[in-house]
């Protein structure tokens, strides 16, 4: 099913970077054999958010992507290729070594891997891998942002049915930073999940998705472009970060 577009006035202001999907296939998806077509479609739909060249017009000279549910790094690899910096949130220890290996060609100052479970609150739970159990720290995006002072310009959320708790734990970040988003919703875990997500974000921001993609039974990708909602009147430093916050101190590079 093709994208079904809602009202939007956005047009890419410059030519967008080409993503080398063969490179990703060889590096990232060697255990999967191929890139799932709907993932490639969604990355193409979102890739202008990853490019410093195109996002300079929209107030973030160096995009910061939160890849929530990073898995083995498909989206992170694509974002890094385009010039973004990425924070990868991945709770499963089984994916960590593969994720690190798949990102090894990039300067490790451009990405950070957070091995914690993202939900709506903080604490600890027991996760299982095979017949083994291990403790996993639980964080919210809001608590992590407050602790680390790194603010997203784009968030990809693919958390296998935990979309609502993740969003509830990111409410302040979403309302203050207004990151654009790609949210994968799973109807097989939560009935009418995509409608719940749409209504939640409409209540918080007064916006609807600019497009959505039907992936397969019960699985949808919702795309929110919030760049026109960011306050452009606020002062920027030489890196494109807000001088009065949200900003990214210290590690920002020219």
**What is the predicted pLDDT for the residue at 182?**
95
Concatenating the DSSP letter of every residue in 122-133 gives -EEEEEEETTEE
Q: How far apart are CA 169 and CA 204, in angstroms?
A: 13
What is the value of pTM for the model shown? 0.81
- Tell me the fold of 36-229: Rossmann fold (3.40.50)
Q: Is the CB of residue 55 less than 8 Å from the CB of residue 49?
A: yes
CA distances (Å), origin 223, targets 6, 123, 226: 10, 30, 10
More confident: 75 or 252: 75
Q: Is the CB of residue 184 less than 8 Å from the CB of residue 220?
A: yes
pLDDT tens for residues 69-117?
999 999 999 999 988 999 999 998 888 889 999 999 999 889 999 999 9
Mean pLDDT of the chain: 78
With a cut of 60, say whether residue 251 has pLDDT above it: no
Residue spans per domain, the chain: 36-229
With a cut of 80, say whether residue 130 has pLDDT above it: no
Query: pLDDT-derived band of residue 254, with 50, 70 and 90 as boundaries?
Result: very low
Q: Is the CB of residue 81 less than 8 Å from the CB of residue 20?
A: yes
């Amino acid at each position: 099913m093709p994208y079904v577009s809602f009202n939007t006035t956005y047009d890419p202001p410059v030519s967008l970077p080409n993503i080398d999907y063969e490179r990703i296939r060889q590096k990232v998806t060697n255990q999967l054999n191929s890139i799932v077509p709907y993932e490639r479609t969604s990355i193409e739909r979102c890739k202008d958010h990853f490019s410093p060249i195109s996002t300079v017009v929209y107030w973030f000279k160096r995009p910061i992507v939160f890849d929530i549910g990073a898995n083995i790094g498909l989206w992170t690899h694509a974002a890094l290729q385009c010039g973004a910096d990425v924070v990868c949130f991945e709770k499963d220890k089984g994916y960590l070594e593969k994720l690190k290996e798949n990102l090894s060609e990039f300067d490790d100052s451009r990405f950070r891997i957070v091995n914690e479970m993202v939900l709506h609150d903080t604490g600890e739970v027991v996760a299982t891998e095979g017949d083994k159990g291990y403790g996993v720290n639980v964080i919210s995006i809001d608590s992590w942002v407050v602790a680390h002072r790194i603010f997203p310009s784009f968030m990809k959320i693919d958390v296998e049915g935990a979309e609502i708790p993740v969003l509830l734990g990111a409410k302040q970040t979403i309302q203050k930073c207004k990151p654009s988003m790609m949210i994968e919703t799973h109807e097989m875990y939560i009935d009418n999940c995509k409608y719940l997500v749409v209504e939640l974000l409409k209540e918080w921001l007064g916006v609807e998705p600019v497009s959505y993609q039907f992936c397969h039974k019960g699985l949808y990708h919702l795309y929110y472009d919030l760049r026109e909602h960011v306050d452009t009147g606020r002062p920027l430093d030489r890196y494109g970060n807000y001088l009065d916050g949200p900003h990214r101190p210290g590690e920002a590079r020219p």
